[in-house]
Amino acid sequence: MKIKTYANKIIEIDLNDLSENSNLLALPALIVPHVHFRVPGAEHKEDWQTGARAAVAGGYTTVIDMPNNNPPVINYAGLMEKKKIINEQLKRSGLPLNYALYLGATKNNWTEFEKCAQQIAGIKLFMGASTGNLLVDKKEDQEKIFAEAARLNLLVAVHAEDEATINNNKQGLFHSVIRSREAAIKAVSQALELAKKYKTKLYLCHISTAEEINLVAEAKKEGVTVYAEVTPHHLFLNENDYDRLGTLGQVNPPLRTIKDNQALWQAINDGLIDIIGTDHAPHTLKEKAKPYPNSPSGVPGIETCLSLLLNACHESKITLNKIVELTHDNPQKIFNLPKNNDLVIVDLDLKKEVKNENLKTKCGWSPFVGRALTGWPVAVIINNKIKKL
Ligand code: DOR
Ligand code: ZN
Ligand code: ZN
């Protein structure tokens, strides 16, 4: 079967059992620099067999995984141990998923950065506590991290929520009030100040408010090397979804307002956002069913992101070019990943509902359940092999 590629070439692929009516297009397989595949320590939520299946089902063949594991990945030995386990699990999955890892920052492990530099995609810094026990909330400790990363030309990916602001809000009843927009704005502005001071490459994970976008725009204008990520849940969900989702919608940083959704879309189309990252953060339904605040924060997203974006493309919210730029071209360049020939074949006209029973993630649920989306991945070419979905 002949399929048009995104680069306007025609390629021949053996997909003959697909419907004649399908509107197929081959895109570069997606890359996501922000997932939590839970190894080691929380394999009951996800492991690299289920994670790899979920990634490929979503059109991704490259992921960069976060270090907030148990134990957290904060030194060379931990990094090597994690790689060994991942390689074993991927072998069993039969999927040659490309991956890279972050090293987690603690208040005094910057001395480990140099040893790990060749083995990692960057340093991950939690300025506010989230899942796991990684936290560096004192500015003097953050300074050392930014300085040493800059010296080694390592990127620092930041979970930017200000711990002190969150703690001051602890008497609040709602997640979006406790982890307020001010907490995110304050931490982003501090991270930008440090990146500017030390000339560190800064990757801002999950920008969620209009104010953060303004700070990013300003910093970019001043020449700070800063990259901004948005997640599908901050684009496609907002505080109104708590009624339907309850703690399934609990995520850090929290869901915001419709106005913030709109500001994020505007920022995408203004060229201020560099990457759409999934922040795939699976937790079991049983864990999520605990009463707040004992319920964990995080939502899965790797299987639905591309389809949500293709559906948004039908609604003229985003172009196909932009999707490829934010889910492939930019992550490949920013993280300096080796180029590959991996493709995702999408059927732009295929309409399907998101159903929990169709998901490959071990957690088995999606905050987007019930949405009818038009545009789905139907096959992936990974390492020159076709995997039909
Ligand atoms: O909601 C979140 N979940 N935010 C994070 O920063 C971590 C993530 C997780 O690992 O569960
Ligand atoms: Zn985060
Ligand atoms: Zn995350």
Q: Model confidence at 359, in pLDDT bands (50, 70, 90)? A: very high
Residue 117 has pLDDT above 70, yes or no: yes
Determine the atom of ligand 1 nearest the C-alpha atom of 68: 10
Q: Which atom of ligand 1 is nearest to the CA of 297?
A: 1
Residue 20, pLDDT > 70, answer no
Residue nearest to atom 2 of ligand 1 (CA): 298
Q: What is the mean pLDDT of residues 88-112?
A: 97
Over residues 360-369, the mean pLDDT reads 98
Q: Which helix (H) or strand (E) holds 53?
A: helix 48-57
How many Cα neighbours within 13 Å face the side chain of 376? 17
Cα of 131 from ligand 1 centre, angstroms: 5
Of the residues 65, 137, 274, 279, which is catalytic? Answer: 279
pLDDT category at 370 given cuts 50, 70, 90 is: very high
Q: pLDDT for 42-51, tens place per residue?
A: 999 999 999 9
The pLDDT of residue 6 is above 90: no
pLDDT at 7 (0 to 100): 81
Nearest atom of ligand 1 to the alpha carbon of 279: 8
Identify residues whose C-beta is under 5 A from ligand 3, the ion.
Answer: 279
Q: 315: Cβ–Cβ under 8 A, 6 or more apart, which residues?
A: none
pLDDT at 17 over 80: no
Q: Indicate if 243 belongs to the active site.
A: no
pTM metric for this prediction: 0.97
Q: Give the DSSP letter string of 228-267.
A: EEE-HHHHH--GGGHHHHGGGG--SSPP--HHHHHHHHHH
pLDDT tier at 12, thresholds 50, 70, 90: confident
**pLDDT at 81 (0 to 100):** 98
Q: What is the mean pLDDT of the chain?
A: 96
